[in-house]
Amino acid sequence: MTAATDTFTSGGFFALADFERAADAVLPAAVRDFVAGGSGAELTLAANRAAFDRLRIVPRTLRDVSEYEGATTLLGSRSAMPVATAPIGYQRLVHPKGELAAVRAAAEAGIPFTVGTLSSYTVEEITAVGATTWFQLYWLRDRERSFDLVRRAEDAGCSAVMLTVDVPWMARRRRDLRNGFVLPDDVVAAHFPAGAESAAHQVVSGESAVARHTAAAFAPSLSWADLEELRRRTRLPLLVKGVLDPADAAQAAESGVDGIVVSNHGGRQMDGAVASIDALAEVCAAVDGRCEVLLDSGVRSGLDVLKALALGASGVLLGRPLLWGLATGGAEGARAVLDLLADELRDALGLAGCSGPESASTLRVVRDAMGAGRTGTAHDHTTCTTSHEGMALR
C-alpha cells in the first residue's frame, strides 16, 4: 500500500464512489455537471452501469491462487494491470496540475496514460513525466493538423495512437446547455494555436461553449478512407475508439488496426446507444483475435474490470474515477484511485479462481435479466459461454 493509498484509506475511501462524493463536494456545480453528465436524457449513461450490474461471474474453485500476477501487456506495452486511462480533455478543470498530475499517478501505478487532443497540457509536457503514453486523436477539419498531431505524438515518445470515431460533433449535453458551460480563462486546449479555442471561453446563454468550439474544429466527414490513410501515415500501433457494432469492428480489423475500444463515450454521445459491456462479446467474436479489444464506459470497480476480461477484453479504460481522484487530492488522489482499483481487481480475480488477468477468459458469465437490486423467487438468466476469442451470448 502506498502512502497516498494509506492516507485516503484512513480518510474512509474504500470504493471509487467515495472519491466521487469527495469530488462533488469541491468542484463548482457547472464543472461537476460537465464531468458527470451524459447526452440527451442520459439513458445510455445509466445503461452503462445497469448493464455491468446485471452481469454475474461464476467463480471457479480448487485453483491455486497463492501466486498472483496482475501485470499484462496492452498494445505491446507492459502494464501493471489490464487498465489504461481513458482520454479526458481539459483536466485542469478539476485540478491546477491537470494532466501532469494524472500522468504522474499513472506512471507510479505502472499503467498507460492516454493524452487527449483536448488536453490542457501538450503531449510534449505530458510525456516528459516518463509514463507509457498513448495519444488520442479527434479528426480535425484541417487534415494536415491531424497528421501533425500524430507526428508530434510520435516524436514525443507516445507508444500508440487512438482515433476517436464516434464524435462527428459533440452531442447535446443538457446539463452543459442549462449551465451555459464555458471554459475558465486559464483552461485551454493546449494542442490548438493560441486563441483558436476562444469560442470555448465565450459565454452564450443556453449553449455549451465547448460544443461550439469542437463543432468548428472536428470533421464530421471522418471515413474508412481516412482511417486507412492514418494507418499508412503512422508507425505506431493504432486503436479506434467508439466502436459498438460487430460489422464495424470486423472492418476495422480488416483495415489493419491494432486495437478496438468498445465505447459509447461514457454515455456522452448518442443517447440510447447500447451499453458498451453489452456490445463487447459480439465485437470480440467479430474481431476473432485479429486485434486487441478494450472496453470503455462505466468501469467503476475491480469487479467491473474482471467482467470485461471474462467477456473477452484484454483490458479497460478508466475515465471519470481518475478525475474524481484528481479533484480530491491531485496526483496522490488519482494514484489512490488506481491503487484501490488494483486491490479490488486482485480480490475479484482471486476469489473467482484466477491467479491473473489471463485466467479470466476461462470464467463463465451469466446475465441477471431481473437486474441488480430487484428481488424475486426466480431469476431469468441469459448464459454466456467462453472461448479463446472471448464470450459469445446464447
What are the residue numbers of the active site?
265
Grid coordinates belonging to 4:
497516498
Q: Please answer whether residues 208 and 170 qualify as being in contact, where contact means their C-beta atoms are separated by less than 8 angstroms.
A: yes
Residue 321, Cβ density class (10 Å: 0-12 exposed, 13-18 middle, ≥19 buried): buried
Nearest-5° Cα angle at 14, 313 to 56: 40
Grid coordinates belonging to 186:
486559464
Q: Please answer whether residues 181 and 172 qualify as being in contact, where contact means their C-beta atoms are separated by less than 8 angstroms.
A: no
In angstroms, the Cα distances linking 275 to 46, 185, 267, 298, 378 are 9, 35, 8, 9, 25
Q: Please answer whether residues 271 and 39 qualify as being in contact, where contact means their C-beta atoms are separated by less than 8 angstroms.
A: yes
Exposure pattern of 157-186 as b/e (b: 16+ CB <10 Å)? ebbbbbbbbbbeebbebbbbeebebbbeee
